[in-house]
Structure 1
Amino acid sequence: MTTDEVENTPAHGVSRRFVLAAGAVGAAGVVVGGLVGGVMGRSSGATRSTSATESVDVAIIGGGVAGAYVADRLAADGRRQPVVFEASHRIGGRLWSQAVPPATGVMAEFGGMRIPPQHQAVLQLAGELGLTTIPFPASTTQSLVRLRGTRLRRGEVERVDQFNYAMPAEIGALSPDELFSMINRSVGITSETSLSGNQSGSWSETLTWRGRSIDELSTLQFLVELLGHDGAQFVRDWTAFEMWATSASTWLGVSNSTGGGSYAQVEGGFDQIPIQLIQRAQRAGAEVRLGEQLLSIERAEDGSVQLDVLSVDTGVTRRVRARAVVLALSAPAMRHVVRSSSMLREAPALTEALDQLVDSQAVKAYLSYDRPWWTDLGIETGRSVSDSVLRQHFYLSSDRSRPALLLAGYAFGDVAADLLAPLVPEASSDSSNELSAASRQGITSVLSEVHGIEVPQPIGAVAQRWSDADDGTVPLWGPGDAPHRRMRAAITPVSGVSLHVCGDALSLNQGWVMGALETASLVLQQGFGVDGI
């Protein structure tokens, strides 16, 4: 993983979700006059500098959900003139949808892919944009669970000790649901505990384990003390999410705040939400620039904000002044900016919040087929889990007469992602995420072992790895101060400067579109007097 400073990154190495900024005009950058949409090509050039200075009203740094939402609302309000700057040539951030022929009617979602029923604001926004939501597959009684050499249907699992984990008898005798209820009770979570749909928040402040706040304990420490090492590993394998380094409250929030109903997905791709927001903002007068990277940000003498910007396409760096700046970036991207900006290095509200984050890698691999072979096993749609390197398997199609799509592997967490990555080395490529014949064969072999049949070779295959290398890791709160206090302090981290921070990284719903929208709404309300969700 690279730790290079932003200013040492060559133009051709700028990642998909890198730090962006107010941009150049003419040859100094890409000014998008037409409505922006999907992926656009990138070019590189030798870095050179220019003394040209440009002034903008509101510079929105980042073209993901948060940046797109702020731009849309400011443009609709009409009192400010937003300019969105995205260092890559794609709108969407960690929402990135791609078709995998010959499968139709369903998209590969490299980043965010579903909406829990608790996130009504996201569902309402999709409807407002004219997008259709459809059911997203969840685990069913016919889904497979293959752990430590034992393969069962989910509906057959009645006791934890049906799998080969060394746990105390009283724990092994519990069903998985009973086990998770016991974990909740151990810290004081009951049926009356209200999380308000948030995976982090004030609800955790009164909860303790052995006299210690669950905000201050790691998930690994908490689960090992409660269940023993094998018990903790069973919980990790059953959920198929590796979250050892996060705070115990974060893990408990993820386990309890969502679900309990049908998940939804956006027909035509989840990235249509930021794309449609950006296009609507452009129609209302917002400007969008692609291919520009923020190198540093400082306070100007006149009270405005001064940004040094690199054009990815030409290698030209220039200075931009903005009356207000909104940083809508991933956590790794924000850290790049902080390291090169003395104003931000001296802003503890932001630096301490970033220091408390645990950045988790993730890898997804999608395969398409001429038919849904899993229906031969009695599986229509749904989610299976295994302790293989693929971890999670989502069956996204069930019509036997049509080509089908499978999320063959979804590994979340640094160790899990590192184990899967060698099987899909193309997933780290900037040029293509198509998988080679060798990668397809490797994934197929694992799928065959997990499902107990000879799985056919796929027709199409793509993968994506989110890592530090592309500033795409998924942030989660680690042990420390209460996340809701960190979030509110970090929204406006520097006094006397119109600088605002949003995005899911410092939210109460990290890894979800809801987190991006809630922090973007706080920025709109507190910084600009504009309503959000």
Structure 2
Amino acid sequence: MTTPVTPDSTSADEDERPLTMFGPDFPFAYDDYLAHPGGLGHVPDSAVGTEVAIIGGGLAGMVTAFELMKLGMKPVVYESDQIGGRMRSVPFPGHLGVVAEMGAMRFPPSSTALFRYLDMLGLQTEPFPNPLAEATPSTVIDLKGESHYAHVLDDLPEIFAEVARAWQRTLEDHADLVPLQRAIRARDAAAIKRLWNELVVRFDDQTFYGFLAASEHFRSFRLREVFGQVGFGTGGWDTDYPNSILEILRVVVTAADDHHRGIVGGAQQLPVGLWNTEVESKYWPAGTSVASLNGGTPLPRVVGLRRTAAGIVVRDSSGDERTFPSAVVTAQSWMLLSTIACDDDLLPIDHWTAIERTHYMGSTKVFVLVDRPFWKDKDPATGRDIVSMTLTDRMSRGTYLLDQGDGRPGLICLSYTWSDDSLKLLALDAAERTDIVLRSLEGIYPGVDFRSHIVGEPVSLSWETERDFMGAFKANLPGHYRYQERLFGHFVQDSFEDRHRGIFLAGDDISWTAGWAEGAIQTALNAVWGVVHHFGGASVPGNPGPGDVFGELAPLRLGDL
């Protein structure tokens, strides 16, 4: 439920900084790094204009390309489908600005590096209608055939408040929530590392469910069952229960699941904007953009990577091969095991092991366009909204109502499902999926004729069947911390043998916060630092980059015992 675990109004003094995605594994201020007037660094004159391959045109790829271009390097972008990656906004013909967000659709204000780019591009955001959020007219929680209508948490039966209290107390008593969030607000890196590293040691082998079951506040199975259905924050279903509790704690302590905002006109505008934005740089003539440096179109799908004495050879689906002194791979890392043929020695063996052990969450969405936001109609008998934002244990699971404004059609995310729930829909086409979830909603809202309002064809996508993704995002299982630490720190290559240097991994699955755009941006900035360092460049005085302070702030390295 969308109630901040430590609301600013009660837990923070007015002069304290807000909660941000500052750490906790690597407490480096990426937002301050971006804001420095001196920029991110410089490369030697001999490296200016040097081509760097950017494999993948999602957010991480576009941030990497944009920032390297500003530093005078020439990003050469490869993209198998379209600029945007999992920021995929599908338009509805004839309805300008109305899009189905098939991937990223809601963004926490704690993503401060992300919002720097949104502000730079002039993109507007608006409150996202999560369950029980202020922007949500009403919420219905439907479990075991019984529905509960609410505007705020106190409108629900007492068991839901009991679940919320149990989660809050469990976090405070067993996960150092209050001191950890206080340290994040203060950007006290030493305190964050001390507190978080202790949690890593304690919980690396613990599942989300095991963490709950071990808490005295969740002794009741009924509480664990309800919590698994209504989730934490905005949608952590019990399909998250097998994942590492560290994945969940990272979200909670950094307020990543609170006060979400959507991007007006679609999230894909952000990576597309970085592709098209003209840069002000002494290295390039006026009007230069990543797009113009690439002739207006990225190169096609990468199908092979190998290293020669001359550099990193990139082969694309047209059969063309080009050699680069450096490359940044921002595609989901599983692609290096399947659709991209790679030399075995392209990466150190421990990094290959980490990629092989990566666990991805599946996810399915089903959207329909409707003639108007009919959900705002009132039931004459009860005075309630005839349809509400809905959380349920039925097949639809999560239904979001997206008001496009007066005089415009309405948009409904009929169903948002994860992992096992996504698999239940996987074999069905869009029309069959729509029928299944409509039957669920008709059971919750008898007498509401959803079907009569639908205009056009439904839009649906399952990320686990997408050839270039094979899942929505990474979600570490217990015992996977060591693998994530290797992947995140890959950009610092001074200890690598020469044959392993010059190729860098980025993207949200390389980050500690997969599924969040902020993680993609952070790893992109790591890769930018890595490329600059690889060419003999440096950060500007007074603005050390992530690699410059890595020895001090590096994530905990767990040993064998």
What's the TM-score, normalizing by structure 1?
0.75
3-state SS, counterpart of residue 138 of structure 1: coil
Distance 1:269 1:248, change over 3 A: same
Pair 1:144-2:132 in alignment = no
Residue identity in the other structure for 2:422: A
Name 1:360's counterpart in structure 2.
Answer: 361
Q: Which amino acid aligns with 1:57?
A: E
| Structure 1 partner of 2:118 | 126
Asked if structure 2 preserves the Cα contact closer than 8 Å seen for 1:327 and 1:500, the reply is yes
Q: Which amino acid aligns with 2:244?
A: S
Q: 1:396 aligns with which of 402, 412, 416?
A: 402
Aligned to 1:455: 449
Aligned to 2:35: none
Matches within 5 A, 1:218-233: 218-226=207-215, 227=218, 230-233=222-225
* 1:290 to partner: Cα distance: 3.9
Give distance in 1, aligned partners of 2:293 and 2:526: 20
Q: Within 5 Å, which residues of 2 pair with 1:166-181?
A: 175-181=162-168
* Partners of 2:211 and 2:426 in 1: CA distance: 29
Say if 1:403 and 1:160 are closer, same or farther in 2 by CA, change over 3 A.
closer
Q: Structure 2 CA distance, aligned partners of 1:500 and 1:506? A: 10
Amino acid corresponding to residue 192 of structure 1 in structure 2: P
Unpaired runs of 5+ residues, structure 1, are 1-54, 163-171, 312-316, 427-434
State the secondary structure of the residue aligned to 2:54: strand
Cα deviations by residue, 1:210-263 (Å, 9 ceiling, x for unpaired): xx7212212233334444655433222111432133211112223443357532
Q: Distance in 1 between matches of 2:525 and 2:225?
A: 38
Structure 1 residue 191 and structure 2 residue 178: aligned? yes
1:276-425 map, 5 Å: 276-280=273-277, 283=289, 286-287=293-294, 289-290=297-298, 292-302=300-310, 304-311=311-318, 317-336=319-338, 340-344=342-346, 346-348=348-350, 350-376=351-377, 378-379=384-385, 383-397=389-403, 401-413=407-419, 415-422=420-427, 425=428
Q: Secondary structure at the match of 1:68?
A: helix
Matched, 1:518 2:522: yes
Secondary structure of 2:337's match? helix
Over 3 Å counting, the alpha-carbon distance change for 1:104 and 1:389 in structure 2 is farther
Using the alignment, how far apart are the partners of 1:390 and 1:160 within structure 2?
Answer: 21
Closer, same or farther in 2 for the Cα pair 1:453/1:246, shift >3 Å? same
What does the per-residue CA deviation read over 1:318-377, in whole Å, with 9 as the maximum and x for residues that have no partner? 4321111111111322333686321236431x2243244320110011111112222135
* Distance of 2:522 and 2:160 partners within structure 1: 41
- CA, structure 1 residues 394+306, in 2 after alignment: closer, same or farther (shift >3 Å)? same
3-state SS of 2:408 partner: coil
Contact 2:180 2:253 in 1 (8 A): no
C-alpha separation in 1, matches of 2:327 and 2:512? 22
The Cα of 1:410 is off from its aligned counterpart by: 0.3
Would you tell me which structure has more strand in proportion to its own residues?
1
Q: Secondary structure at the residue paired with 1:245?
A: coil
Task: Give 1:504 deviation, angstroms.
Answer: 0.3
- Give the whole-Å Cα distance in 2 for the aligned partners of 1:467 and 1:390: 18
Is the 8 Å Cα contact of residues 149 and 156 (structure 2) preserved in structure 1?
A: no
Distance 2:90 2:396 in 1: 20
Counterpart amino acid of 1:509? T
- Structure 2 CA distance for partners of 1:379 and 1:214, relative to 1, 3 Å: farther
For 1:371 and 1:159, locate their aligned partners in 2 and report how far apart those are by CA, in whole Å. 28
Identity across matched positions, percent? 20
Q: Cα distance, 1:467 vs. partner?
A: 0.4
Q: Is the 8 A contact 2:504 2:530 kept in 1?
A: no
Counterpart CA distance in 2 for 1:364 and 1:454 is 22
Distance 1:491 1:380 in 2: 52
- Taking a change above 3 Å as real, the CA distance of residues 270 and 251 of structure 1, as seen in their structure-2 partners, is same
Question: Which of 60, 70, 80 is 1:66 aligned to?
Answer: 60
**Structure 1, residues 185-231: CA drift from partner, whole Å, max 9, x if none?**
34232322228499xx95532127xxx72122122333344446554
Equivalent position amino acid for 2:395 in 1: V
Deviation at 1:145, TM superposition (A): 0.5
Amino acid at match of 2:325: R
The one-character-per-residue Cα deviations of 1:297-325 (angstroms, maximum 9, x if unpaired) are: 222124x11233322xxxxx243211111
Q: Which residue of 2 is the match for residue 247 of structure 1?
A: 244
Which residue of 104, 107, 122 maps to 2:99?
A: 107
Is the Cα–Cα contact under 8 Å of residues 362 and 417 in structure 1 kept in the other structure? yes
For 1:262 and 1:188, the matched residues in 2 are separated by 22
- The answer for the alignment partner of 1:27 in structure 2 is none
User: 1:265 maps to what in 2?
Assistant: 262
* Change in 2 beyond 3 A, CA 1:353/1:286: farther
1:439 to partner: Cα distance: 4.4
Measured after TM superposition, the shift of residue 105 of structure 1 is: 4.8
- Partners of 1:353 and 1:490 within 8 A in 2: no
Q: 1:119 and 1:156, CA in 2 relative to 1: closer, same or farther beyond 3 A?
A: closer
Q: Of 214, 227, 232, which residue of structure 2 is paired with 1:235?
A: 227
Aligned equivalents of 1:293, 1:402: Cα separation in 2: 38
Structure 2 segments unaligned to the other structure (5+ residues): 1-48, 279-287, 379-383, 533-537, 547-561
Match of residue 50 from structure 1: none
Q: Which amino acid aligns with 1:527?
A: V
Distance 1:332 1:91 in 2: 19
1: CA distance, partners of 2:107 / 2:317: 35
